[in-house]
């Protein structure tokens, strides 16, 4: 226990957050969180003003995923709190560390339907890792300490701290604890050497083994371990979409993401495999197609930090529970000890390499100059490899998955689980705050960008020069693609018109707006954006009829993917 | 299949809500639920009975275990467990012999009779859910006016681990 000090709850909150190393908070003030806001005048935490609480939450989310420390967002009670719910749910679905702090009406007013009262604890329950509502100021230091610990340990996730206004305002003797106990929380399992040995054995005794790297590989930064295992055992690596870039996508063993819009070579090889080392993945329907078909004739070794994921969607022959980096490290060590290093090319690896080469050459692409593949490959060509990519949700996101190769692991982030349109831009702002020295690009579509474009105000006023790369088909493109494919081309509710003009929109916020209608213009626009010290929106008009292919239709399996004709 | 889950939770407000919310959100069934504080006032014990296939029940246990407020989650083997539920039946009396018949029936099930009136009688029965169901079937012909049940409370027998 450290020293005691008398202060108000709001000051205790800021002090406790400073002790957690918080340097930035994304948020919006309102009646019920004013005492907390007043403390920004007296502390070393920078406040970054968002224009909507949902965006503040996405900024914190982007910050958290990139820095691997909880991003913090503030909102007031009532509508402020309900506005951040989508942001919290997005972080929960993608296991992103976040601490959301909401103001609440005073304790005595709770349950009285007070002005701007919402039962945010009740509403947020299914989409948070944990929620606190301190009822006395003295609880705040420990709540903050526990909140940050819960948010960033084990399988990370969002924590909500809802503080009634009087609890912020009232004074108390504060103790800032160094130690605390949470009885029902066991974020770590011990390393499981026996299981890891068995896993090696299963992989060695399979004819067609493959690694499936999920988002957990990125969360635990197990990049080096993954690569050395893949190379030692000569295993082809496919990823989930969330695991995209866990393994360098220019590596000869890399096949890219599987799934609904996975790479053809990845879906082919995954369907043929007889044994999979699945690392930090929950086998989402978008990744594996129908559950029954995926696990047929496939031995699954499932490594995950969350025991509840074992057996949820897929039946594992072998479970390795615990931090995936820890268990992969053991695997690396065991492989070294046993001097297991495959060098001869098995028929399987030969087949994998041929399949990879074939589809890299022969996937039929849009014939036009401004086809999605050409645009994204141009972006890849001009961006330094350490650049961070965020995406929105829709066709552009899947094109990014197909055509933007991640070379440096852990530089690609997307709203993959909840699929929140409007996530990418504010998340890019958060990412840039976490890593100001690398270029940060939000690969966007016009439909998604429209949902949080007012974050341009934040980017400009707070001097956070990110790049928004809008593949503009003037349409809610993915919905349109489904209407073309499954609804006999009845196009309902998808036409966005040429509204707004994103170049003028960017300029109206004081950002740089550039339209790129040819490859030459695009080349110049990307270079201008990279050297710009203000945020830049590159508006790239594309063909509204271009589909994302391959496509594994919902309710079908990976081997049934629809290819471009 | 039917399963009995014994869940030790921190005795704090809102936890019953979180547990039941989990069942709703993940599409699990609650057959019965009972909650009470333990000998240590820091903890409460919930006993939940549920239906599901083996995979679902495994998931329920894991998801409950993952909750930060749950301290211990156990699936109890019903053959190695003492489990009982309290039920109170209000039964109609139509004929002269009904009162005696119901008394006999209650005795046979180890029940107690309360509140004997001209037109109705109450039976308190502590038994397993199956026994309560059986009693209910036999009481039905008399006419059941109302029933209240507490849900199952359960403890594993000593040395049954």
pLDDT digits (tens, 9 = 90+) for A504-559: 999 999 999 999 999 999 999 999 999 999 999 999 999 999 999 999 999 999 99
Q: Is the pLDDT of residue B77 over 90?
A: yes
Question: Is the Cβ pair A184, B71 closer than 8 Å?
Answer: yes
Q: Are residues A251 and A388 in the same domain?
A: no
Question: Is the Cβ pair A185, B10 closer than 8 Å?
Answer: no
Is the CB of residue B40 less than 8 Å away from at least one CB of chain A? Answer: no
- Percent of chain A's residues with pLDDT above 90: 97
Phi-psi label, residue B132: left if phi above 0, alpha if psi -120 to 50, beta otherwise: alpha
Rounded CA-CA distance A197/A116 in Å is: 57
Among residues A361, A376, A400, the one where a domain terminates is A361
The distance of B154 to chain A (nearest Cα, Å) reads 21
Structure token pair of residue A260: 């609904």
- Report pLDDT for A290: 92
Torsion of CA B46, B50, B56, B57, to 10 degrees: 50
Q: Are residues A150 and A242 in the same domain?
A: no
Partner residue facing A183 (CB), from B21, B59, B71:
B71
A188, part of any domain = no
- Report pLDDT for A2: 54
Structure token pair of residue A513: 């707006």
- Report pLDDT for B161: 61
Partner residue facing B68 (CB), from A121, A126, A185:
A185
Partner residue facing B66 (CB), from A125, A150, A308:
A308
Residues of A in contact with B18 (CB under 8 A): 125
Q: Are residues A502 and A528 in the same domain?
A: yes
Q: Are residues A169 and A198 in the same domain?
A: no
Q: Is A116 among the residues known to form the active site?
A: yes
Residues of A in contact with B68 (CB under 8 A): 129-130, 150, 182, 184-185
Partner residue facing A308 (CB), from B18, B62, B71:
B62
Q: Is A53 among the residues known to form the active site?
A: yes
Torsion of CA A324, A328, A330, A336, to 10 degrees: 180
- Report pLDDT for A416: 97
Count of positions (residues) in chain A: 565
Question: Is the Cβ pair A122, B59 closer than 8 Å?
Answer: no
* Angle CA A230–A236–A239, to nearest 5: 95
A184, part of any domain = no
Question: Is the Cβ pair A184, B18 closer than 8 Å?
Answer: no
Give the pLDDT confidence of A93-148 residue by residue, as tens digits: 999 999 999 999 999 999 999 999 999 999 999 999 999 999 999 999 999 999 99
Among residues A318, A342, A361, the one where a domain terminates is A361
Torsion of CA A288, A291, A294, A300, to 10 degrees: 100
Mean pLDDT of all residues in A274-302: 96
Q: Write the CA distances from B103 to B98, B124, B135, integer angstroms.
A: 8, 11, 12
Q: Is the pLDDT of residue B33 over 60?
A: yes
Q: Tell me the β-bridge partners of B5.
A: B48, B75
Q: Are residues A86 and A101 in the same domain?
A: yes
pLDDT band at A3 (very low <50, low <70, confident <90, very high): low
Mean pLDDT of all residues in A30-55: 98
Q: Are residues A434 and A552 in the same domain?
A: yes
Q: Write the CA distances from A415 to A304, A377, A423, integer angstroms.
A: 20, 22, 7
The sign of the dihedral angle between the CA atoms of A47, A52, A56, A59 is negative
Q: Are residues A408 and A534 in the same domain?
A: yes
The distance of B50 to chain A (nearest Cα, Å) reads 18
Residues of B in contact with A126 (CB under 8 A): 21-22, 25
Q: Is A14 among the residues known to form the active site?
A: no
A396, part of any domain = yes
Q: Into how many domains does chain A fold?
A: 3
Q: Are residues A420 and A539 in the same domain?
A: yes
Sheet holding A209-213, edge to edge: A254-257, A237-239, A209-213, A275-279, A299-304, A318-321
Please name each of the domains of chain B with its CATH number. Answer: 2-76 (3.30.70.260), 82-156 (3.30.70.1150)
- Report pLDDT for A343: 82
A562, part of any domain = no
Give the pLDDT confidence of A156-166 residue by residue, as tens digits: 999 999 999 99
A182, part of any domain = no
Residues of B in contact with A312 (CB under 8 A): 59, 62
Q: Considering only residues A449 and A342, tell me which one the structure prediction assigns the higher pLDDT.
A: A449
Give the pLDDT confidence of A353-381 residue by residue, as tens digits: 999 999 999 999 999 999 999 999 999 99
Give the pLDDT confidence of A317-338 residue by residue, as tens digits: 999 999 999 999 999 999 999 9
- Report pLDDT for B159: 81
Give the pLDDT confidence of A262-284 residue by residue, as tens digits: 999 999 999 999 999 999 999 99
Q: Is A169 among the residues known to form the active site?
A: no
Q: Are residues A368 and A347 in the same domain?
A: no
Is the CB of residue B10 less than 8 Å away from at least one CB of chain A? Answer: yes
Q: Is A174 among the residues known to form the active site?
A: no
Residue pair A494/A475 in contact (Cβ under 8 Å)? The answer is yes
Residue of A122, A143, A308 to mutate, interface with B, max B Cβ within 10 Å: A308
A340, part of any domain = yes
Rounded CA-CA distance B161/B159 in Å is: 6
A33: nearest Cα among A123, A100, A128 = A100
Q: Phi/psi of residue B93, each to 5°?
A: -110, 115
- Report pLDDT for A440: 98
pTM (2 decimals)? 0.96
Q: Which domain holds residue A108?
A: 4-175
A183, part of any domain = no
Residues of A in contact with B20 (CB under 8 A): none
The DSSP letter of residue A393 is S
| CATH at residue A215 | 3.40.50.1220
Partner residue facing B68 (CB), from A130, A310, A312:
A130
Catalytic residue among A115, A180, A333, A338: A115
A343, part of any domain = yes
Q: Are residues A87 and A227 in the same domain?
A: no
| CATH at residue A128 | 3.40.50.970
Q: Are residues A280 and A414 in the same domain?
A: no
Among residues A175, A202, A233, the one where a domain terminates is A175
Q: Are residues A372 and A348 in the same domain?
A: no
């Amino acid at each position: 226990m450290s020293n005691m000090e008398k202060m108000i709850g709001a000051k205790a909150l800021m002090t406790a957050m400073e002790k957690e190393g918080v340097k930035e908070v994304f948020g919006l003030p309102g009646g019920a969180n004013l005492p907390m806001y007043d403390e920004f005048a007296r502390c070393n935490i920078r406040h970054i003003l968002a224009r909507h609480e949902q965006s503040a939450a996405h900024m914190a989310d982007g910050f958290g995923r990139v820095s691997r420390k909880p991003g913090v967002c503030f909102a007031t009670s009532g509508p402020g709190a309900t506005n951040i719910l989508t942001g919290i749910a997005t972080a929960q679905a993608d296991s992103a560390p976040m601490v959301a702090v909401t103001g609440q009406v005073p304790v005595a007013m709770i349950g009285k339907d007070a002005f701007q009262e919402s039962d945010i604890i009740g509403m947020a329950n299914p989409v948070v890792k944990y929620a606190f509502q301190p009822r006395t100021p003295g609880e705040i230091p420990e709540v903050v300490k526990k909140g940050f610990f819960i948010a960033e340990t084990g399988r990370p996730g969002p924590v909500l701290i809802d503080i009634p206004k009087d609890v912020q305002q009232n004074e108390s003797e504060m103790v800032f604890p160094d130690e605390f106990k949470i009885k029902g929380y066991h974020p770590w399992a011990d390393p499981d050497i026996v299981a890891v040995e068995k896993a090696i054995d299963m992989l060695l005794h399979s004819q067609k083994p493959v690694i499936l790297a999920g988002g957990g590989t990125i969360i635990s930064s197990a990049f080096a371990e993954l690569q050395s295992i893949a190379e030692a055992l000569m295993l082809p690596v496919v990823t989930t979409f969330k695991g995209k870039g866990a393994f360098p996508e220019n590596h000869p063993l890399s096949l890219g993401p599987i799934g609904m819009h996975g790479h053809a070579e990845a879906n082919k090889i995954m369907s043929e495999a007889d044994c999979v080392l699945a690392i930090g993945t929950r086998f989402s329907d978008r990744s594996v197609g129908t559950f029954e078909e995926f696990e047929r004739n496939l031995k699954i070794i499932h490594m995950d930090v969350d025991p509840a994921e074992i057996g949820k969607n897929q039946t594992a022959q072998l479970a390795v529970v615990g931090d995936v980096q820890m268990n992969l490290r053991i695997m690396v060590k065991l492989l070294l000890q046993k001097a297991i290093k495959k060098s001869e090319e098995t028929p399987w690896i030969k087949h994998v390499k041929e399949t990879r080469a074939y589809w890299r050459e022969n996937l039929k692409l849009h014939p036009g100059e401004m086809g999605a593949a050409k645009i994204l490959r141009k972006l890849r060509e001009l961006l330094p490899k350490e650049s961070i990519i965020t995406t929105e949700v829709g066709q552009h996101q899947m094109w990014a998955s197909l055509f933007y190769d991640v070379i440096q692991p852990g530089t690609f982030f997307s709203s993959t689980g909840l699929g929140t349109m409007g996530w990418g831009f504010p998340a890019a702002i958060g990412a840039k705050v976490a890593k100001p020295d690398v270029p940060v690009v939000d690969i966007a579509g016009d439909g998604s960008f429209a949902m949080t474009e007012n974050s341009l105000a934040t980017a400009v006023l707070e001097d956070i020069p990110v790049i928004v790369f809008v593949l503009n088909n003037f349409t809610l493109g993915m919905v349109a693609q489904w209407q073309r494919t499954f609804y006999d081309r009845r196009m309902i509710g998808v036409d966005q018109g040429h509204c707004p003009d994103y170049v003028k929109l960017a300029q109206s916020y004081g950002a740089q707006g550039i339209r790129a209608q040819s490859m030459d213009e695009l080349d110049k626009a990307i270079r201008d954006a990279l050297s710009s010290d203000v945020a830049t929106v590159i508006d790239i008009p594309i063909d509204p009829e271009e589909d994302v292919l391959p496509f594994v239709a919902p309710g079908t399996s990976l081997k049934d993917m629809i290819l471009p004709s | 299949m039917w399963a009995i889950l014994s869940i030790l939770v921190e005795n704090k407000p809102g936890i019953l809500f979180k547990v039941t919310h989990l069942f709703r959100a993940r599409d699990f069934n609650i057959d019965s639920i009972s909650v009470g504080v333990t000998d240590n006032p820091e903890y409460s014990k919930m006993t939940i009975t549920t239906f599901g296939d083996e995979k679902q029940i495994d998931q329920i246990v894991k998801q409950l275990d993952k909750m930060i407020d749950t301290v211990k989650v156990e699936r109890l083997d019903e053959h190695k467990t003492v489990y009982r539920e309290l039920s109170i039946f209000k039964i109609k009396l139509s004929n002269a012999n009904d009162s005696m018949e119901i008394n006999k029936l209650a005795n046979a099930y180890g029940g107690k009779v309360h509140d004997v009136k001209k037109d109705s009688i109450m039976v308190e029965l502590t038994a397993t859910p199956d026994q309560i169901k059986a009693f209910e079937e036999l009481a039905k012909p008399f006419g059941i006016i109302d029933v209240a049940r507490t849900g199952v409370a359960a403890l594993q027998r000593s040395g049954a681990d």
